Amino acid sequence: MRYTRLGSSGLEVSRLVLGMMSFGDHSARAWHLDLDGARPLVGRAAEAGVTAYDTADVYDAGVSEEVTGRLLREVFPRRDEYVLATKVYFPMSDAPGDRGLSRRHILASIDASLRRLGTDHVDLYFVHRWDYDTPIEETMEALDSVVRAGKVRYLGASSMYAWQFAQAQHVAEQNGWHRFVAMQNHYHLAYREEEREIVPLCLDQGVGVLPYSPLARGLLTGTRTRGGGGSTTRSGNDPLARKLYSDADFDVVDALVEVSEGLGRPPAQAALAWLLGRPGVTAPIVGVTKPHHLEHALESLDLELGAGECARLEAAYVPHAMAGPE
């Protein structure tokens, strides 16, 4: 395993983050794994040196946090041996005000997350989306207060426009509040719009980039086909993927398959290796439901693509409409 600092912060993380969204309530989605199904995968990740784990309160209505906390306590003898991230924004009930980034919701949500996770703090606390209904001053002050209370070590943002991120950082700096040190965004070979504004902004601000869905929900593994079909449980039942990706994106997949065959590696490894080599990227957040998913991700760390291979992978890309911030 390789390790690096998260942007210009002092937080050290592994170059792969294990995404825990797939672990929780099997009845919620057919491809989700329950506690017993997730246990060997988390154990193997820890054994391989993965120290960073990412979940959110909204994943399976909190069950993912419960499973995450239980498994990390099982595999790591001490709390300071791993980096734990969770998120706030989406509603956890139908109660009025139980959503967004108001002070009330942030303070209630961090306490609820800590209870489910079974810990007294999280290392990274992400705002899951931008809240158009709450003043950013209120949000950043509330986030600063949970850091000063010792419940959160560092702050992160996810899926927002560059002007929004810049505004949040400016408000925090202006008031002496803690700023975001990480950006979790939608970024991979088949969606590179983040390279236009948000990644350059993160590079300028010393913010670490943690791309989610680095394999495009299976598109970059070869499990999906033109027309919306798929060969796995998830790819056969994933309407969001049909909205995000079109047949034009399969030109990228074709180039990826060609390059990966030349390397003698699976397409997933080449796609992750490309992302790991991009400026500003600290670590992709990889979701796994089978042992080979995790092994391919681990093996991508030892794969270095040449300039020619990268050029071939990038040549087929076509611009996309913005996806993720809304």
Question: Catalytic annotation on 59?
Answer: yes
Residues 6+ apart with CB under 8 A from 199: 187, 209, 278, 279, 280
Nearest to 20 by CA among 94, 75, 77: 75
Q: How many CB atoms lie within 10 A of CB 321?
A: 6
- Compute the 3-state secondary structure of the chain and give helix, strand, coil in percent, each to the nearest 5: 45, 15, 40
Among left, alpha and beta (phi > 0; psi -120 to 50; other), residue 322 is beta
Q: What token pair was written down for 291?
A: 């042992």
Residues 189, 153 contacting (CB under 8 angstroms) = no
CA gap 90, 87 in Å, rounded: 9
Q: For residue 281, what are the β-bridge partners?
A: 209
Do residues 197 and 160 lie in contact, with contact meaning Cβ atoms separated by under 8 Å?
A: no
Side chain identity, residue 16? L
Which listed residue (3, 53, 59, 89) is catalytic? 59
Strands 17-19 and 285-287: parallel
* R_g of the chain computed on alpha carbons: 19
Active site members: 59
